[in-house]
């Protein structure tokens, strides 16, 4: 019976130990510089995609992504491990993106994407996006900020609700509820499933 | 369907493993209803569409981005703040010691403090000053009838004190007795005015 009772703690400990991010952080803190490069390789795509949703230009997104990792590099020595490394980095990314937006508020055109002026989107993207895609993106833009953040972190970044809650500064249950209302509102905007219950 | 359970429906459809056993049971109970199941199917479809959306923008060359990050970060390993500030500890201790010493000096009695040297004038302007020997105790001389008398050498017993002083007869010591001032009362107004004018002039 005692062994069964200790099982959840054991599973938790094993999963903690198996987390490659934590292992990389430990190696980095032990003086292994290459461990940070491995962290960059693991998270640069996720960070870039998250930043790109705020910063509407590819070039600026690359700059902000770089800033995120520079901040992470400097702050990793003080990483306490309360959250996962990924959500810690994503938090830095959200802050860096918001501060970039604040600094470049006047430069940002209301509707025109910077890249749209330089290079047209490639044909496959345009086809894949289609009218439905455009409608969906527009509908997401209409969501309240908190619901939008929770939905994007969950759907685009594939984060578990626990990490979504950490990044959205709310409880896990609130994150689930926000996710529900975000999807419900999207359905209302798009006119999907008129039989929505509440 | 209870409101709380309804709010968990989308989370259930998107990640059943992230709900507690109790929450799962409650949601599954309401999913027995056909209308709720149809609603759930529509939600699943929308979630699928959202996930199928291509990422925004054009993804960069990841190897190039990694290189640029490595360049921006630099080769040096970051040091934790407590290591960066380690040098402050001895400096802080020194400053604290100096402050304590200053406080002690200010609090000490004045005689304990060494006298400050006088402001030194430029060397060229200073004329050589003969060094003075410390003055010996000078005699307390009093001139009396063309004779210098050292007061310290006088034997108090040899002094002749007049009888009136020795006995403390105050009436006998008064040089001008008050009774002799009766003449003031006999002065007329003119004389008094003149006297007052004279006194005023004296004052100014």
Distance between CA atoms of residues A92 and A85, nearest Å: 11
B38 CB within 8 Å of a chain A CB: yes
- pLDDT at position A197: 45
**Which of chain A's residues have a Cβ under 8 Å away from the Cβ of B57?**
52, 57-58, 61, 115
Interface contact flag, B58 A62, Cβ < 8 Å: no
What percent of chain A has pLDDT above 90? 61
DSSP element (H, E) containing B144: strand B141-144
Instruction: State the pTM of this model.
Output: 0.60
Interface contact flag, B77 A31, Cβ < 8 Å: yes
Interface contact flag, B80 A78, Cβ < 8 Å: yes
A52 CB within 8 Å of a chain B CB: yes
Which tens digits make up the pLDDT trace of A66-91? 999 999 999 988 888 888 999 999 99
Confidence tier at A167 by pLDDT (50, 70, 90): very high
**Which of chain B's residues have a Cβ under 8 Å away from the Cβ of A66?**
65, 68-69, 72
CB-CB: which of A136, A161, A181 is closest to B50?
Answer: A136
Distance between CA atoms of residues B148 and A110, nearest Å: 112
Which residues 71-90 of chain A have a CB within 8 Å of chain B? 73-74, 76-78
Which tens digits make up the pLDDT trace of B149-195? 777 777 777 766 666 555 555 555 555 556 667 777 778 888 888 88
Return the HEC string of A158-173. CCCHHHHHHHCCCCHH
Q: Does ipTM come in above 0.95?
A: no
B50 CB within 8 Å of a chain A CB: yes
B76 CB within 8 Å of a chain A CB: no
Taking only Cα atoms into account, the Rg of chain A, rounded to an integer number of angstroms, comes to 20
- pLDDT at position B187: 81
- Cβ atoms B7, A177 nearer than 8 A: yes
Which residues 136-195 of chain A have a CB within 8 Å of chain B? 136-137, 151, 154-156, 160-162, 176-177, 179-181, 183-184, 186-187, 190, 192-193, 195
Question: Which residue in A187, A180, A170 sits closest to B15, CA to CA?
Answer: A180
Interface test with B, best of A70, A73, A148, A172 (most B CBs within 10 A): A73
Which tens digits make up the pLDDT trace of B123-160? 454 555 555 555 556 667 777 777 777 777 777 777 66
Number of neighbouring beta carbons within 10 Å of residue A196: 14
Interface test with B, best of A134, A177, A194 (most B CBs within 10 A): A177
Separation of CA A41 from chain center: 16
Interface contact flag, B53 A49, Cβ < 8 Å: no
Distance between CA atoms of residues B27 and A46, nearest Å: 32
B123 CB within 8 Å of a chain A CB: no
Number of neighbouring beta carbons within 10 Å of residue A140: 21
């Amino acid at each position: 019976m005692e062994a069964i009772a200790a099982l959840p703690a054991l599973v938790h400990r094993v999963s903690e130990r198996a987390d490659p991010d934590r292992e990389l952080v430990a190696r980095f803190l032990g003086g292994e510089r290459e461990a940070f490069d491995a962290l960059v390789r693991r998270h640069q795509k996720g960070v870039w995609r998250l930043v790109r949703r705020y910063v509407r230009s590819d070039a600026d997104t690359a700059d902000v992504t770089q800033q995120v990792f520079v901040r992470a590099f400097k702050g990793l020595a003080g990483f306490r491990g309360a959250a996962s490394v990924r959500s810690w980095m994503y938090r830095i990314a959200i802050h860096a993106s918001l501060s970039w937006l604040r600094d470049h508020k006047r430069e940002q055109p209301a509707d025109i994407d910077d890249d749209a002026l330089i290079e047209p989107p490639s044909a496959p993207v345009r086809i894949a996006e289609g009218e439905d895609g455009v409608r969906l993106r527009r509908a997401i833009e209409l969501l309240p900020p908190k619901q939008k953040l929770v939905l994007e972190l969950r759907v685009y970044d594939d984060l578990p609700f626990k990490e979504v809650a950490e990044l959205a500064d709310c409880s896990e249950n609130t994150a689930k509820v926000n996710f529900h209302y975000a999807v419900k509102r999207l359905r209302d905007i798009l006119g999907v499933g008129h039989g929505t219950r509440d | 369907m209870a409101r709380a359970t309804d709010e968990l429906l989308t989370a259930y459809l998107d990640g059943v493993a992230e709900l507690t056993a109790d929450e799962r049971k409650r949601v599954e109970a309401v999913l027995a209803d056909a209308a709720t199941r149809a609603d759930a199917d529509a939600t699943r479809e929308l979630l699928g569409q959202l996930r199928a959306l291509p990422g925004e923008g054009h993804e960069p060359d990841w190897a190039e981005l990694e290189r640029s990050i490595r360049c921006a970060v630099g080769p040096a390993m970051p040091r934790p703040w407590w290591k960066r500030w380690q040098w402050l500890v001895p400096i802080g201790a020194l400053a604290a010691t100096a402050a304590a010493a200053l406080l002690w000096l200010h609090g000490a009695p004045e005689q304990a403090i060494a006298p400050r040297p006088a402001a030194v004038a430029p060397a060229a302007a200073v004329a050589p000053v003969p060094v003075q020997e410390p003055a010996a105790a000078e005699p307390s001389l009093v001139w009396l009838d063309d004779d210098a008398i050292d007061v310290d050498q006088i034997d108090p017993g040899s002094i002749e004190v007049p009888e009136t002083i020795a006995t403390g007869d105050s009436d006998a010591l008064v040089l001008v007795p008050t009774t002799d001032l009766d003449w003031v009362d006999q002065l007329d107004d003119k004389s008094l005015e003149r006297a007052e004018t004279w006194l005023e002039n004296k004052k100014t």
